[in-house]
Amino acid sequence: MSELPDWMYAPRMEGWFADDLDHLPQAPPHTELLHGALVFRLTPQRSWHNRVTSRLTSALERIAPEGDLAESWMTVTLDERNRLEPDVLVSRAAFDPDRTGYAPGEVLLVVEVVSRESQHRDRGVKFRKYAEAGIPHYWIVEEEEGSRVAVHVYELDEVTSSYVPAGIFRGTLERPVPFPITIDLRRAAD
At 61-83, the pLDDT tens digits run 999 999 999 999 999 999 999 99
74 and 141 both lie in a single domain = yes
In a domain, 144, yes or no: yes
pLDDT digits (tens, 9 = 90+) for 97-124: 999 999 999 999 999 999 988 999 999 9
Full residue range of the structural domain in which residue 79 is found = 47-187
Q: What local confidence, expressed as pLDDT, does residue 130 receive?
A: 98
105 and 142 both lie in a single domain = yes
Measured in degrees and rounded to the nearest 5, phi and psi for residue 125 equal -65, -55
Residues of the chain with pLDDT under 70: 1
Measured in degrees and rounded to the nearest 5, phi and psi for residue 142 equal -115, 150
Q: What local confidence, expressed as pLDDT, does residue 189 receive?
A: 79
Euclidean distance between CA atoms 149 and 173, whole angstroms:
10
Whether 143 contacts 149, CB under 8 Å: yes
Please give the model's pTM, rounded to 2 decimal places. Answer: 0.94
Rg (CA), the chain: 17
120 and 35 both lie in a single domain = no
28 and 110 both lie in a single domain = no
How many domains are contained in the chain?
2
Q: What local confidence, expressed as pLDDT, does residue 181 receive?
A: 98
Q: What local confidence, expressed as pLDDT, does residue 188 receive?
A: 86
20 and 103 both lie in a single domain = no
C-beta neighbour count of 16 within 10 angstroms: 22
Q: What local confidence, expressed as pLDDT, does residue 85 receive?
A: 97
In a domain, 1, yes or no: no
Q: What local confidence, expressed as pLDDT, does residue 114 receive?
A: 96
